[in-house]
A = this chain, B = another copy of it.
Amino acid sequence: MSDYFRNTVMKKLSNGDFDCTKEFTVSMFSGKHKLLILWILINDGPQGFSYFMKNLKGISKKVLSNQLNELMADQIVSKREYLTGKVKHTEYQLTDIGETLIPIIVALNDWGENRLKQVTLVKIFNNDL
């Protein structure tokens, strides 16, 4: 998604401008579906392309492909390919680097769940629902 942003950060790094830690960090996660992709890998283990297509409702092949490629470029996810007859299958999994993200993603998800609970409770209380 944020190819442009990612490239900008990469260029900065190439130019020796290391004063962009935050931008770098953001560039790792920008992408509407990356958190979901990682969440799936964390909870369901290694999965193929179609598994993500089924479980990320509303995502297109192109976008999924892009996000997976970015995650691979960032060495957070790796891919394995194999053939069943003439049919290509893939398996994506977290790299060692990717696994260092697990506690953060879990914390993020916990935060989101709690926050969502608060939000919906307030809504119900106010009869906005």
Contact = CB atoms under 8 A, between A and B. Distances in A.
Interface stretch (A60-68, A84-92, A112-120): A112-120
Given A16-B129, A29-B29, A107-B107, A115 B35 contact: no
Contacts of A53: none
Per DSSP, are chain A's interface residues mostly helix, strand or loop, or mixed? Answer: helix
A111 B24 CA distance: 11
Contacts of A108: 25, 104
Interface string A1-34: 0100100000001101010011111101110100
Q: Would you list the 10 A-B pairs with minimal beta carbon distance, nearest first?
A: A25-B112, A22-B36, A24-B116, A104-B107, A26-B35, A21-B113, A21-B112, A21-B116, A24-B112, A104-B108
Interface of A: 2, 5, 13-14, 16, 18, 21-26, 28-30, 32, 35-36, 39, 97, 100-101, 103-104, 107-109, 111-113, 115-116, 118-120, 123, 128-129
